[in-house]
Structure 1
Amino acid sequence: MPVYLDHAATTPISGPALAALTSVISRSGNPSSLHGSGRRARATVEAARETIAKAAGAHPTEVIFTSGGTEADNLAVKGLFWSRRDAEPQRARILVSAVEHAAVQDTVEWLEKHEGAEAVWLPVDEDGTVSLDALQKELADGGADSIALLTCMWANNEVGTLQPIAEIVALADNYGIPVHSDAVQAFGSVPVNFKDSGLAAMSISAHKIGGAVGVGALLLGRAVKLTPVQHGGGQERSVRSGTLDTAGIAAFAAAAQDVTSNMAAESARIAGLRDSIIAAVREAVPEAVLRGVDPGKHPDKRLPGNAHFTFPGCEGDSLLFLLDMAGIESSTGSACTAGVPRPSHVLLAMGLDEETARGAQRFSLGHTSDQEDVDAFVKALPDAHARAKKAGMADHVSSIQTASTR
């Protein structure tokens, strides 16, 4: 069996989630139907809604089910922009962090191209943390009455940095600006409470916490107005039409309950494994540089399962494939941009040059990770790194096979 160190992309389905999925998927029934099967499906959906709301610190009516985090992000950003601009046409600006996931970044860029939006990209420091000073300046000097919304992820999917969401929301609230946060990486790994956060909207996803792929949710404040992206049967508060995936939603709820019931202990366990990986990389490859907040200095400002490095003079894709050949599965960054031959926009925003950014490798842990995984990784890394570095900063993955035969 390969050693799986790519939980940030997706994590294996958990036992409770699998049990819920298999139990419900064998039963028919559209939760919008009025007959007995429909009512039973509806009861399953509503019980799951309550469970997920409790896990996320929200009211059940604030849980809008979607097909995943990407749809939730699109619904939040587009829906808030359209709603705010329709009410006040001058509100065309969107404040957005420079390190967002593609689901937010591309949505904002689409709104710029097709809907007349103006994106204001908030800078980050060398650790990937959004500059509160830059945000304050933009709010105070940029004309707050022209801002439709602010969107900032809770935790970065590549380098694991946790953003100061409380401070960001507090600043925006002074000007009456709604804030959306992509919390896909944060939910289930660190404490996340929608009510206490003051957010207008927050995106979460099932398959990042041990649920099934294809299900997510947008937590949307009860008083928040949002224009639908898709139309149809009027499900989910008439915000997101479409037949609900009852089995997937049941599995999502089971996974959410499972990860939040023992979060402190499990996060501490995973953080210990992460720290072992960081120490091993630093010992085996001294020139490797940890990216994101150093958990040794600020353990509360980084995801417990994320270890992200850049390896000088080493192509990230080469290292990925050589590790894969040794039975270690890692990532160069976001799975949603995997295979695209360009350096990470996250690392570039953090101040790295393109060549340095191309040497990135992310090792992410989850509920199936254990010390044996770390030991296997430590054993495989030196040879894989040596071969990848020998290949150099190649422009094509074809050079990997050449390096692996030497």
Structure 2
Amino acid sequence: AMNRIYLDWASSAPLLPQAAEAQKQSAYRLFGNPSSLHAYGREARAELEAARTQIARAADAHPDEVVFSSGATEANHLVVGSFFKRTLVKSGAQRRGHIVASAIEHASLQEPFSLLHKMGYTVTFVRPEADGIVSPDRIAAALSDHTLLVTLMLINNETGARQPVRECAARVREHARRTGRAVHLHTDAVQAFGKLWFSFHELGVDSAAISSHKLGGPRGIGALLVRRGAPYETLFSGGGQEQGRRSGTENTGGAAGFAASVSIRVQALDANLATAERLLERLLDGLRAIEGVLIIPEGRSAADTERYSPYILTVCIPPVPGEVLVRTLDDQGFALSTGSACHSGKKDATRILEAQGVTKTIARGALRISIGPETTVEEIDHFLGALAGIVGPLTKIAGKSNVRSGRK
């Protein structure tokens, strides 16, 4: 069999054996419902709370600020639902609360916001600069007297651009003080938690979404961190689990697996980061040596960890479509994606890059390379060799087909 190389860590990480074991043990031994009063229930509850405490510690949050969910998509939706409920109970002009969001949010926020817009809510999408980073000044300028929700992701899942969430939090708080209205500030921290420095309290946000399977934990479990005292109302009701903030029987096994993956990643965080920077440097040097490869943004350097995650890099090879690159590399044993795996094949697949001023033609050729703690120098070198071998032939073919179809 072909020796396959995985360079799509941003869409999902290989399951850590320790996380799989923790999940299995917990699911077998602690099958009781954590809400039951008997011994089985109490044991499951103890495991669930231990996992919550461990995740809270890693995120620099209080345990009672961790709300378990089925993943980050649901965590993002909990925030949207809370906004929706807050505005429904108000009347008149107030009812149409205003949302400010960056134009580079994950689809699990972008799509519900587009839906709310259709329902008559005002949504302002703030575009990033050419480097993929949204300016706090632009966020501040978008705020109005009716703003109730602001969202800005921490690390963009396609470009790796780190957003100035802490600076934005200060501007949002200042605005809220001036207008006397509570504004909820949310960050999608999926590509940051367990990979880069992350402190929920120091960021100054009201909520943050995190996910297990991006770290090597099991699928189907994530969490919404909600600051004590933050304006938050739940849209979904039922058994009132998670302190009434997210009903449904808790996934004890998932939480145990999530906590196990978090503890492994956080312990090795600095070492993993140093390795990722070295690998990224090698990757950038190698890519710059291949004619026809564009790095997005052009000036990206491995040392710039203040502004970019070293785990994510996007390149374009115009006029070759990203999908062609992904399939060709897959045939050679390399797993990569075109931008976010969550919307590959969708019509707005180039939305993130276009928001930062990349032309549609170039954005259509995007290839996302994402590495993880287990990626090796040999894997990077093999990949560079394979890419160097296909760029020329593919560019020739794509150029010819563009001429034929009259596409520029």
The reply to whether TM is greater than 0.5 is yes
How does 1:278-357 map onto structure 2 within 5 Å?
Answer: 278-291=284-297, 294-296=300-302, 298-357=304-363
The answer on whether the counterparts of 1:91 and 1:147 sit within 8 Å (CA) in structure 2 is no
In structure 2, the partner of 1:110 is 115
Which residue of 72, 77, 89 maps to 2:75?
72
| Distance apart, 1:221 and its partner CA | 1.1
Which residue of 220, 226, 235 maps to 1:220?
226
CA separation of 1:118/1:211 partners in 2, compared to 1, >3 Å: closer, same or farther?
same
In structure 1, the partner of 2:130 is 126
Secondary structure of the 1:30 match is coil
Tell me the percent identity: 36
In structure 1, the partner of 2:179 is none
The answer on whether the counterparts of 1:315 and 1:389 sit within 8 Å (CA) in structure 2 is no
Given the alignment of the two structures, is residue 206 of structure 1 paired with residue 212 of structure 2, yes or no? yes
For 2:349 and 2:229, the matched residues in 1 are separated by: 40
| Distance apart, 1:307 and its partner CA | 1.6
For 2:234 and 2:59, the matched residues in 1 are separated by: 23
| Distance apart, 1:131 and its partner CA | 2.2
| Distance apart, 1:85 and its partner CA | 5.8
CA separation of 1:381/1:50 partners in 2, compared to 1, >3 Å: closer, same or farther?
same
Q: Which deviations, in whole Å up to 9, do the C-alpha atoms of 1:50-72 show, x marking residues without a partner?
A: 00000001000000000000000
CA separation of 1:287/1:378 partners in 2, compared to 1, >3 Å: closer, same or farther?
closer
In structure 2, the partner of 1:60 is 63
The answer on whether the counterparts of 2:5 and 2:333 sit within 8 Å (CA) in structure 1 is yes
Which residue of 218, 242, 246 maps to 2:248?
242
For 2:45 and 2:356, the matched residues in 1 are separated by: 46
For 2:399 and 2:228, the matched residues in 1 are separated by: 51
For 1:34 and 1:393, the matched residues in 2 are separated by: 68
| Distance apart, 1:245 and its partner CA | 1.0
Q: Which deviations, in whole Å up to 9, do the C-alpha atoms of 1:25-77 show, x marking residues without a partner?
A: 22221111122111111111000000000000100000000000000001012
| Distance apart, 1:329 and its partner CA | 0.6
In structure 1, the partner of 2:33 is 30
For 2:312 and 2:400, the matched residues in 1 are separated by: 26
Q: Which deviations, in whole Å up to 9, do the C-alpha atoms of 1:273-319 show, x marking residues without a partner?
A: 12211211111235423338713463321112112111121111001
The answer on whether the counterparts of 1:315 and 1:388 sit within 8 Å (CA) in structure 2 is no
Poorly superposed stretches of 4+, deviation over 6 Å: 393-396
The answer on whether the counterparts of 1:91 and 1:145 sit within 8 Å (CA) in structure 2 is no
For 1:70 and 1:280, the matched residues in 2 are separated by: 35
> What amino acid sits opposite 1:110 in the alignment?
L
For 1:316 and 1:359, the matched residues in 2 are separated by: 4
Which residue of 61, 65, 89 maps to 1:86?
89
Given the alignment of the two structures, is residue 3 of structure 1 paired with residue 5 of structure 2, yes or no? yes
CA separation of 1:390/1:251 partners in 2, compared to 1, >3 Å: closer, same or farther?
same
In structure 1, the partner of 2:155 is 155
| Distance apart, 1:19 and its partner CA | 2.2
| Distance apart, 1:133 and its partner CA | 2.3
For 2:303 and 2:150, the matched residues in 1 are separated by: 29
How does 1:162-173 map onto structure 2 within 5 Å?
Answer: 162-173=162-173
CA separation of 1:239/1:297 partners in 2, compared to 1, >3 Å: closer, same or farther?
same
Given the alignment of the two structures, is residue 375 of structure 1 paired with residue 378 of structure 2, yes or no? no
In structure 1, the partner of 2:14 is 12
> What amino acid sits opposite 2:19 in the alignment?
A
Secondary structure of the 1:26 match is helix
With normalisation by structure 2, the TM-score equals 0.91
> What amino acid sits opposite 1:121 in the alignment?
F
> What amino acid sits opposite 1:382 in the alignment?
A
For 1:170 and 1:292, the matched residues in 2 are separated by: 30
Q: Cα RMSD between the aligned structures?
A: 1.9
Which residue of 136, 140, 143 maps to 2:140?
136
In structure 1, the partner of 2:145 is 145
How does 1:38-53 map onto structure 2 within 5 Å?
Answer: 38-53=41-56
| Distance apart, 1:178 and its partner CA | 2.1
For 2:324 and 2:371, the matched residues in 1 are separated by: 21
CA separation of 1:23/1:111 partners in 2, compared to 1, >3 Å: closer, same or farther?
same
The answer on whether the counterparts of 2:80 and 2:112 sit within 8 Å (CA) in structure 1 is yes
> What amino acid sits opposite 2:230 in the alignment?
V
Of 344-353 and 275-284, more deviation after overlay is shown by 275-284
Alignment length (residue pairs): 391
Of 305-314 and 290-299, more deviation after overlay is shown by 290-299
In structure 2, the partner of 1:98 is 103
Given the alignment of the two structures, is residue 392 of structure 1 paired with residue 394 of structure 2, yes or no? no
